Amino acid sequence: MDLGILATILDSALRLSIPLLAACLAGLWSERSGVVDIGLEGKMLVAAAAAAAAAYAFGSAWVGLLFGILASIAFALIHGFASISQRGNQIVSGVAINMLAAGLTAIVGNAWYGQGGRTPPLEGDQRFGDFVFGHSVLVYVTLLAVPVTWFVLGRTRFGLRLRAVGENPAAVDTAGISVAGLRYSAVVIGGILCGIGGTYLSVAQAAGFLPNMTAGRGFIALAALIFAKWRAWPALGACFLFGLLDAIANQLQGFSLPGIGEIPVQAIQALPYLMTVILLAGVIGKAIPPRAAGVPYVKER
């Protein structure tokens, strides 16, 4: 394998890891505040659809980004309302978000453009073109979100409170700080990040929206989040690793390794899921989620 192929693989690994990273950081914010979010997939999907539609209508990728983020925040707020205000089951709400997103984007896309749910192809200013080193600006925005997340969560008062609300909400409440307020802000930050990830998919990486174009990336991001043990820098590592596996799988298609023969692409595709299950089983290391994750906060108890 020469250096050219290596460079190609690393380059496409970066591209493939960006939507994972955006969704993974979104999940990190949400779950660190105690709100479990399996609706990352759905939020990226609505963002991808809204961003492509807006970019097409207004002829600007930036307007697309704005609408992508707004759509994702709207869905994040539904999740927030159900799980924070109504103290509903967060898993159920996440499943609902994913189904709603899959159905709505296909129906509305089909009704608007009549192309089986696709948006018309985007071109020129309707897309995010190359910014630096052949990557779009969204790549750098997402990468920048890693140190920002690390700093805000780990080094600021807001971050400390937000982490505390995910571990022991009663203590935060006793200190006179609003549990719901902190959780809502975390959920909205998650919405913004999923919005960036979804917009990247349809307006930067591809040139338009396809039904179900997230194709499980939201769930791989969830796996990466567990793999990173809910921390920002490891999240970057885990997402890049999973992106790299994806890139290698693409490169290895029909490629035969000496001595081993052809490696089935599916074996590499299965690795992120398999590694997550093994990690969760506590065979190597242990992934411990925030203590209050998934538990609605009830004041009077």
Positions touching another protein (CB under 8 A) are: 38, 78, 82-83, 86-93, 95-104, 106-108, 110-112, 117, 211, 216, 219, 222-223, 226, 264, 266-267, 269-270, 273-274, 276-277, 280-282, 289, 298-301
Distance in Å, CB of 282 to another protein, minimum = 5
Tell me how far, at minimum, the Cβ of 147 lies from another protein, in Å: 27
**CA pseudo-torsion sign 79, 80, 85, 89:** positive
Nearer to another protein (CB atom), residue 126 or residue 214: 214
**Measured from the CB of residue 46, what is the shortest distance to another protein in angstroms?**
12
- Residue 54 CB, nearest distance to another protein (Å)? 17
Provide the minimum distance between the beta carbon of 82 and another protein in the complex, in angstroms, as a whole number. Answer: 4
How many angstroms separate the CA atoms of 46 and 209, rounded? Answer: 10
The residues, ordered by sequence, that sit 6+ positions from 125 with a Cβ below 8 Å of its Cβ are: 59, 60, 61
Q: Which residue has the tokens 């192929």?
A: 5
Nearer to another protein, 13 or 36 (CB): 36
Distance of CA 125 to CAs 52, 56, 63, 67, 236, Å? Answer: 12, 9, 10, 16, 29
d(Cα 138, Cα 130) in Å, to the nearest integer? 10
156/256 with CB nearer another protein: 256
Identity of residue 59: G
Task: Name which of 2 and 300 has its Cβ closer to another protein.
Answer: 300
DSSP 87-139: ---HHHHHHHHHHHHHHHHHHHHHHHH-STTPPPPP-GGGS----BTTB-HHH
| CB closer to another protein out of 168 and 269 | 269
Pair of tokens at residue 114: 């009549």
